[in-house]
């Protein structure tokens, strides 16, 4: 399993993370020497199990939390030395809802824009609220809204100052299907308009669907950064499943080289092969089956999903 971090030094990186480590006050090291370039205009998905360090990494990149070592440069601005400028180009949709507000939706979102020193732009705020189906709630107080509506307000706030980089921390956690679809439509629109999107997610099918590149973080280390399609091609496995005419009790010794799995009460033989190999071994397997007189009535192949790849990456015992 190639769990080597591929450090990609893109010429047009909008975020450059170098040698980033973070140790919390209690002594726990949550991030270990992270190097990462986020390309301008991409959707980058950060995957990792609970506690891997995703939120910590996002908060340090956004300048909300300080690193113990290393630097982050966002669109040319060092997030520590040049905090205000760096912060003004970043929008963050946090995981937690802190929105027990007596303010109205309109006031809250407009105020957020003002916090970043941007001139009022009611037409722009109106557009965001309409895009997020919040327009008819614009005069409601935040505390009167449902959880899903509050989540929409968080997104509206993050977008209010027209950030170049939008961070979404677990945007789909606890939201209904409708909001999820609205959110992904909006994310695609934003990306098409030039916004760079960085998100963390547990919904791997979403990363598979949405992301241009994927980063996998485990125990504070970035173990893989790769173009989604390349990752799936490189680490993906294909499976060939044969449904047999006659069930068998065990896999014959002569078929040992293919490490076949027998399932479905001896009716199904499965062969897993590496998609990168030049010779998949399928032709030889079919010949061997013919020679042994093993007939099959059906044959189909399938590819491993990003989820399979992710699970095998984070459980790879060889990696640290």
Q: Residues interacting with ligand ATP, by CB under 6 A?
A: 24, 26, 28, 30, 48, 50-56
Six-digit token string for 48: 């990792």
Which of 50/317 has CB closer to ligand ATP?
A: 50
Which of 217/240 has CB closer to ligand ATP?
A: 217
118-122, long-range: CB < 8 A, 24+ apart: 118/160, 118/161, 118/162
SS3 assignment, position 193: coil
Of residues 154, 130, 139, the one with CA closest to residue 103: 139
How far apart are CB 180 and ligand ATP at their closest, in Å?
18
Strand partners, 85: none
Contact 39, 14 (CB under 8 A): yes
How far apart are CB 279 and ligand ATP at their closest, in Å?
40
How far apart are CB 240 and ligand ATP at their closest, in Å?
35
How far apart are CB 143 and ligand ATP at their closest, in Å?
25
Contact 59, 65 (CB under 8 A): yes
Which of 180/238 has CB closer to ligand ATP?
A: 180
Which of 110/200 has CB closer to ligand ATP?
A: 200
How far apart are CB 28 and ligand ATP at their closest, in Å?
5
Which of 64/262 has CB closer to ligand ATP?
A: 64
Backbone dihedral region for residue 194 (phi beyond 0: left; psi -120 to 50: alpha; all else: beta): left
Six-digit token string for 74: 């966002």
Which of 60/244 has CB closer to ligand ATP?
A: 60
User: What is the phi/psi pair of residue 90, to 5°?
Assistant: -115, 135
How far apart are CB 54 and ligand ATP at their closest, in Å?
4
How far apart are CB 165 and ligand ATP at their closest, in Å?
18
Which of 142/198 has CB closer to ligand ATP?
A: 198
How far apart are CB 1 and ligand ATP at their closest, in Å?
21
CA 186 to the chain's CA centroid: 16
Contact 169, 55 (CB under 8 A): yes
Round to whole Å and give the CA distance between 238 and 301.
7
User: 268-274 and 261-263: which strand pairing?
Assistant: antiparallel
Strand partners, 271: 240
Which of 61/125 has CB closer to ligand ATP?
A: 61
User: What is the phi/psi pair of residue 257, to 5°?
Assistant: -60, -20
How far apart are CB 176 and ligand ATP at their closest, in Å?
20
DSSP-derived letter for residue 103 is S
**What is 211-238 written as a DSSP string?**
-SEEEEEETTEEEEEEEHHHHHHHH-EE
Q: Listing from the earlier edge strand, what are the strands of the sheet with 268-274?
A: 261-263, 268-274, 237-244, 296-303
Which of 46/142 has CB closer to ligand ATP?
A: 46
């Amino acid at each position: 399993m190639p769990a080597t971090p591929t450090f990609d030094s893109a010429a047009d990186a909008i975020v450059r993370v170098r040698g980033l480590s973070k140790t919390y006050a209690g002594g726990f090291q949550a991030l270990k020497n992270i190097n990462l370039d986020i390309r301008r205009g991409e959707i980058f998905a950060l995957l990792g199990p609970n506690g891997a360090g995703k939120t910590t990494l996002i908060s340090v990149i956004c300048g909300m939390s300080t690193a113990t070592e290393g630097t982050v440069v966002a669109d040319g601005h060092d997030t520590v030395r040049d905090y205000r400028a760096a912060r003004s180009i970043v929008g963050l949709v946090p995981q937690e809802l802190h929105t027990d507000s007596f303010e109205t939706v309109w006031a809250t979102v407009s105020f957020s824009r003002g916090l970043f020193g941007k001139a009022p732009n009611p037409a722009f705020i109106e557009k965001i609220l309409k895009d997020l189906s919040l327009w008819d709630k614009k005069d409601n107080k935040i505390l009167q809204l449902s959880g899903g509506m509050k989540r929409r307000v968080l997104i509206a706030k993050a977008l209010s100052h027209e950030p170049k980089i939008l961070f979404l921390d677990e945007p789909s956690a606890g939201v209904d299907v409708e909001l999820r679809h609205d959110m992904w439509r909006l994310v695609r629109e934003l990306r098409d308009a030039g916004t760079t999107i960085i998100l963390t997610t547990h919904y791997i099918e979403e990363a598979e669907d949405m992301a241009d590149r994927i980063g996998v973080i485990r125990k504070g280390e970035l173990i893989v950064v790769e173009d989604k399609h390349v990752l799936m091609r490189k680490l993906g496995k294909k499976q060939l499943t044969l449904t047999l005419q006659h069930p068998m009790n065990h896999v014959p010794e002569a078929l040992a080289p293919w490490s076949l799995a027998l399932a479905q009460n001896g009716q199904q033989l499965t062969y897993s092969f590496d998609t990168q190999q030049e010779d998949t071994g399928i032709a030889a397997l079919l010949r061997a089956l013919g020679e042994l007189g093993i007939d099959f009535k059906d044959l189909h192949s399938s590819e491993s999903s990003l989820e399979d790849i992710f699970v095998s990456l984070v459980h790879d015992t060889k990696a640290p």
